[in-house]
Amino acid sequence: MNLNLKHTYIDNLPADANLENTRRQVKNACFSFVSPKQTKKPEIIHVSHEMMHALGIDDGLNKTPQFTNVFTGNEVLEGTKPFAMCYGGHQFGHWAGQLGDGRAINLFEIEHESKQWMVQLKGAGETPYSRSADGLAVLRSSIREYLCSEAMHHLGIPTTRALSLALSGDEVLRDMLYDGNPEYEKGAIVSRISPSFLRFGSYEIFAARQDLKTMKTLVDFTIKNHFQHLGTPSKSTYINFFSEVAQRTLDMIIHWQRVGFVHGVMNTDNMSILGLTIDYGPYGWLEGFDFGWTPNTTDREHKRYRYGNQPNIGLWNLYQLANALYPLVEEAEPFETNLERYKTDFEKKSLGMMRSKLGLQIESEGDEKLIESLEEVLSGSETDMTIFFRLLANFKKGNAKDGIKLIHDAFYTSEDITGTLAQEWQDWFDRYDFRLAKEKLSDEERKAKMNGVNPKYVLRNYMAQLAIDDANNGNYELIDELFNLLKQPYSEQPENEKWFAKRPEWARDKVGCSMLSCSS
């Protein structure tokens, strides 16, 4: 394999001097060298050709034994030194100390077409950061990460990417429901790709340990390598750095809100410093529109990471990052200014996003109210978010009376659209129609714009589960079908109309469809 390898991270950041693979606290170092685990019978079951091209890997190479071995950790390429990063994090609102790459191993960095990429395996064995766990991943969670990260990219949402999905050939013991019934599942390894996997927690750990020296080294490194446009590191550069991280984080979350994506575990160790969606675990997609929904069973009681709370959590996490960076600046005010700006920008951007979903080009005063009342009717009846917005694009000015009929297929139960609720819906359509009269675009033009921001196809929770069930039986066709479907989420795909459908009733309360645990 002829790759253009770089060593930016291992050459410029302090390494853990201890080379043993024992689980421990790793001090004064950003990473530890590790060796991926040899697996029993590695087998690649899917690759992203797009990512192969992005990395400069020639077509056809994915069929070679070397590709299989490298991207499952069974062969370490000459001239490379795999490593796991040290980081900490706030989990569910509490400082959790050192976490680190417990089952992620960075293989190498590649530069191709002036872009830098880190190639990382998830599930390739223990590291010093594995704590009490095994460093492995199972097929079900790996399929979910592999499909969803590529789907998010094609939705235009900042995200880490994926190159390959493989079986390790080993069995992995998991208590999926945390109910004392562990079972063996197929082990799997995803190769994930990103310019960087640095997280908020990567900085927090050094602040918590009052290791200002390592923290400064890491922040300066981050700016030089990933935020070059900010210039030479200095106090004001640190503030600009924080400001940009805050903006990117907000932009990412606004995108999540737009498509109904719920991350599920927005702990600070799962917040990318580049504002990318990272660590696909118990995430889910809204079916019925509901601000209170969370897919994560571990979060069922407090619903900290529910759909409607994601923007607040983004801000809470940024406070933690600000606290970590503070010692480099020693002034609170500039951080506070940026955190305040997040709130005002959120209001503005969220409104802009909702306007775009409704096909409103101009800004009109009553828009907030129009949007609020829509959110009320949407939540009042169980209404499929994706289908609703897609059908709404067919609305014709002057035809408010046909509104309910137009979106009929978005309702989960038809009783939902009788009585007072029907009246509320009708009132809303009347207001929407009245508002559209101010717009200049024709019905067709508005529809085209709306269809560019309201996806037709998303990775519904039950779709991923169907692919998982098949894959557990050795059939990978559905993985390929969904992978291809989700490459064009905004396009009409007449041959794929069956995926433009509400969640089937059997999936309403099924594990893996509406309930997901962190066990992966």
Active site residues: 269
The entry of Mg ion, ligand AMP, none near residue 57 (CB within 5 to 8 angstroms by kind) is: none
Determine if 244 is a binding residue for ligand AMP (CB under 6 A).
Answer: no
Determine if 270 is a binding residue for ligand AMP (CB under 6 A).
Answer: yes
Cβ contacts of 304 within 8 Å, gap of 6 or more? 92, 93, 294, 313
- Segment near Mg ion (CB under 5 A), from 272-280, 337-345, 416-424, 431-439? 272-280
When binding is defined by CB under 5 A, the residue of 91, 237, 270, 451 that contacts Mg ion is 270
When binding is defined by CB under 6 A, the residue of 37, 46, 90, 103 that contacts ligand AMP is 103
Which long-range CB contacts under 8 A does 8-15 form with residues at least 24 apart? 8/109, 8/116, 8/225, 9/83, 9/106, 9/109, 9/118, 10/81, 10/83, 12/221, 12/225, 13/217, 13/218, 13/221, 14/214, 14/217, 15/83
The entry of ligand AMP, Mg ion, none near residue 265 (CB within 5 to 8 angstroms by kind) is: ligand AMP
Determine if 174 is a binding residue for ligand AMP (CB under 6 A).
Answer: no
Give the nearer residue to ligand AMP in terms of CB position, either 134 or 470.
Answer: 134
Determine if 281 is a binding residue for ligand AMP (CB under 6 A).
Answer: yes
DSSP-derived secondary structure for 83-142: EEE--EEEETTEEEEE---SSEEEEEEEEETTEEEEEEEESB---TT-TTS-SBEEHHHH
- With CB under 6 A, what is the number of residues at the site for ligand AMP? 17
Q: What does each C-alpha distance from 330 to 97, 203, 438 come to in angstroms?
A: 23, 16, 50
The entry of ligand AMP, Mg ion, none near residue 102 (CB within 5 to 8 angstroms by kind) is: ligand AMP
Cβ contacts of 115 within 8 Å, gap of 6 or more? 54, 195
Q: What does each C-alpha distance from 4 to 13, 324, 447 come to in angstroms?
A: 20, 35, 44
The entry of Mg ion, ligand AMP, none near residue 99 (CB within 5 to 8 angstroms by kind) is: ligand AMP
The entry of Mg ion, ligand AMP, none near residue 133 (CB within 5 to 8 angstroms by kind) is: ligand AMP
Determine if 279 is a binding residue for Mg ion (CB under 5 A).
Answer: yes
Phi-psi group of 344: left, alpha or beta (phi > 0 → left; psi -120 to 50 → alpha; rest → beta): alpha
36: DSSP letter:
P
- Segment near ligand AMP (CB under 6 A), from 38-46, 51-59, 129-137, 485-493? 129-137
The entry of Mg ion, ligand AMP, none near residue 244 (CB within 5 to 8 angstroms by kind) is: none
Determine if 73 is a binding residue for ligand AMP (CB under 6 A).
Answer: no
- Which of 448, 446, 456, 325 minimizes the C-alpha distance to 389? 456
Angle at 131 between CA 130 and CA 135, to 5 degrees: 25
- Segment near Mg ion (CB under 5 A), from 78-86, 229-237, 270-278, 442-450? 270-278
Radius of gyration from C-alpha coordinates of the chain? 24
Residue 321 CA neighbour count, 13 Å, CB half: 33
When binding is defined by CB under 6 A, the residue of 109, 150, 204, 279 that contacts ligand AMP is 279
Q: Both tokens of residue 239?
A: 């503030």
Determine if 520 is a binding residue for Mg ion (CB under 5 A).
Answer: no
Distance of closest approach, residue 193 Cβ to Mg ion, in angstroms: 16
- Segment near ligand AMP (CB under 6 A), from 219-227, 265-273, 314-322, 354-362? 265-273
- Segment near Mg ion (CB under 5 A), from 46-54, 249-257, 275-283, 375-383? 275-283
When binding is defined by CB under 6 A, the residue of 353, 406, 515, 518 that contacts ligand AMP is 518
DSSP-based three-state secondary structure for 394: coil
Interface contacts to Mg ion, rule CB under 5 A: 270, 279
Interface contacts to ligand AMP, rule CB under 6 A: 99-103, 129-130, 133-136, 265, 269-270, 279, 281, 518
